[in-house]
Amino acid sequence: MTLKQIEYFIKVCELKQISECSKFFGISQSAMSIAIKNLENSLGGELFDRIGKSLVINERGKAFLKSITPIYNRVLEIRKNMLNGGMFDIAITSSKNIGSYLLPEAVSEILENKNDKSKIHLDIKIENTEAILQSILNNQCDIGLIEGSLKNSEVSTITICEDELFIVTGDKDLAQKSWNISSLKDYGWVMREVGSGTREVFFNNIKENPNLNIILELPTSEVIKNSIRNRPLFTCLPYFAIHNELGNGLYKVNMKGKKFIRNLYAIYSKDKKNSETFMNIINEIIENIRKFHKKISSQNS
């Protein structure tokens, strides 16, 4: 059964004569007859009663017409959208912080602004930076959104924005003091797992390497915040992940002469053949994340 045979079948049901249908499609009557007969053979029986020169749809044909027409119309719609460049299924793998706090708003704005003719489906997964890189290299996702530095010649990188991490505690009294990293080494720390961009940036910026007392490693910022809230424990998280909860069981720590700055990036494989629409979607995601991040960061000014 082919799409062309279905197209011929539907038109024969409408015009009821092979001669008229063959004229409509610009083919010979014998070619049209063969196509209809092949369709019937593929379905295990006749779809029409032959009455003189006319074809009258029978009970099997009526059942097939009823079932196949909406499917055929949907196929035509899909083909039209594909030809117009309006259908895309894009896999995005995001870091846990970007995916939890920045990406939802960015994606919502994109989807709200798309007209009905644009059929863009975004499949979003959340992983740590190390896993995202592997997904890109293994062609398991189209776009990666990561935190921290990345040096790999096999991926294309676009800088989204600069971002700052802050040391946070659940103890209000401890937050009122000024600290350096060495003076905090004996307190309990709750950190992200190995492979996290947040963790990597933090440790790369501790030149004095005080051998912190890490008592717990957890996979998301949310569970880290809950574990240190109102407790004399410390962690390091991006401002956009904590800004709504500062002063409510979480407190920013004043660090003497120390800042933890990193970039947020969008990455994709250098080998990927990118269409104009694909690049427009990447740029729109980046711009929306950038805008939302700037809005949050301005609250820290």
Q: Name the nearest CA neighbour of 282 among 181, 160, 133.
A: 160
User: In degrees rounded to 5, what are phi and psi of residue 166?
Assistant: -130, 145
The pTM (predicted TM-score) of the whole model is 0.69
Q: Which two tokens stand for residue 32?
A: 């049209």
How many Å apart are CA 235 and CA 224, to the nearest integer? 8
Specify the 3-state DSSP secondary structure of 175. helix
Q: Give average pLDDT by consecutive 10-residue segment, the chain, 301 residues.
A: 90 88 90 92 90 85 92 79 66 92 85 60 87 88 85 84 95 92 90 88 77 92 96 95 94 88 90 73 89 89 62
Q: Which pLDDT score is estimated for 117?
A: 46
Nearest to 260 by CA among 278, 237, 243: 237
Whether residue 65 sits in one domain with residue 36: yes
Strands 233-238 and 188-192: parallel
With beta carbons less than 8 A apart as the criterion, state whether 229 and 206 touch. Answer: no
Q: Pick from 52, 68, 84: which residue ends a domain?
A: 84
Looking at the 3D structure of the chain, how many domains does it have?
3
* Domain extent at residue 139: 88-161+263-298
Do 172 and 256 fall within a single domain?
yes
Quick one: 182 and 244 in the same domain?
yes
Q: What's residue 163's pLDDT? A: 94
Predicted pLDDT of residue 80: 67
Residues 157 and 267 in one domain: yes
Q: Which of 43, 64, 84 is the last residue of a domain?
A: 84
CATH number of the domain enclosing 148: 3.40.190.10
pLDDT of residue 51: 82
Q: Which DSSP category does 45 fall into? A: S
Instruction: Return the CATH number at 19.
Output: 1.10.10.10
Residues 174 and 219 in one domain: yes
Looking at the structure, do residues 170 and 238 belong to the same domain, yes or no?
yes
Q: What separation, in Å, do the N-terminal and C-terminal C-alpha atoms of the chain show?
A: 66
β-bridge partners, 157: 267
Same domain, 173 and 243: yes
